[in-house]
Amino acid sequence: MADVTKELQKKEAASPEKGELTRQRRVYNPDVDIIERKEDIVVIADMPGVDDKSLDITLDKNVLTIYGKVEANIPEKHTLYISEYAIGDYQRVFTLADEVDREKIQATVKNGTLKILLPKSEAVKTRKIAVTAGS
């Protein structure tokens, strides 16, 4: 019987969507969950080491870019000899559909988990149509 194991590894991002990076370090694609609800779409991204000060989210036309900067946490007067966990930034790019209300997008980050709420515009929300009996 073959030993089946799933390795959890960070996926290194391919070339950046908009030009070259100026920092010489790894950039990873954070794993995301995308959940569509009645009123909105929720994007949840795992970005360990990222907080609200090191996170940059931009919306240019219909392209949403998430960039999280991570710095190595090495105490002063200490030297790192072995590192089994690679440090790197996070970047993910999404193209938004026209159904997203761009003026009401919200983002929160807590303990390295980013949550972005993409509210649906009023024009595309599902609505109930009343039916009356005809004569």
Tell whether 127 is covered by a domain. no
Question: What parts of the chain have a pLDDT lower than 50?
Answer: 1-8, 15-16
- Asked whether residue 102 is domain-assigned, the answer is yes
Question: Which amino acid makes up residue 60?
Answer: D
CA distance 106 to 10: 26
Specify burial of residue 102 (Cβ count, 10 A radius: 0-12, 13-18, 19+): middle
Q: Give me the pLDDT at residue 68, please.
A: 94
The verdict on residue 40 lying in a domain is yes
Is 9 within a domain?
Answer: no
Strands 88-95 and 26-29: parallel
Which is nearest to 46 in space by CA: 25, 56, 32, 27? 32
Backbone angles phi, psi at 20, to 5 degrees: -95, 150
Question: Which CATH number belongs to the domain containing residue 56 in this structure?
Answer: 2.60.40.790
Q: Is residue 135 part of a domain?
A: no
pLDDT in the model for residue 3: 46
**Count of helix runs (H) and strand runs (E) in the chain:** 0, 9
Residue 31 lies inside a defined structural domain of this protein = yes
Specify the number of domains making up the chain: 1
- What local confidence, expressed as pLDDT, does residue 85 receive? 74
pTM: 0.72
Give 95-129 pLDDT, tens digit per residue.
Answer: 998 899 999 999 999 999 999 999 998 876 677 77
In a domain, 62, yes or no: yes
Residue 94 maps to a domain: yes
- What was the pLDDT predicted at 6? 44
Q: How far apart are the first and last CA of the chain?
A: 71
Predicted local distance difference test score (pLDDT) of residue 103 = 92
Which residue segment(s) compose the domain that 110 sits in?
A: 24-122
Report pLDDT for 129.
Answer: 79
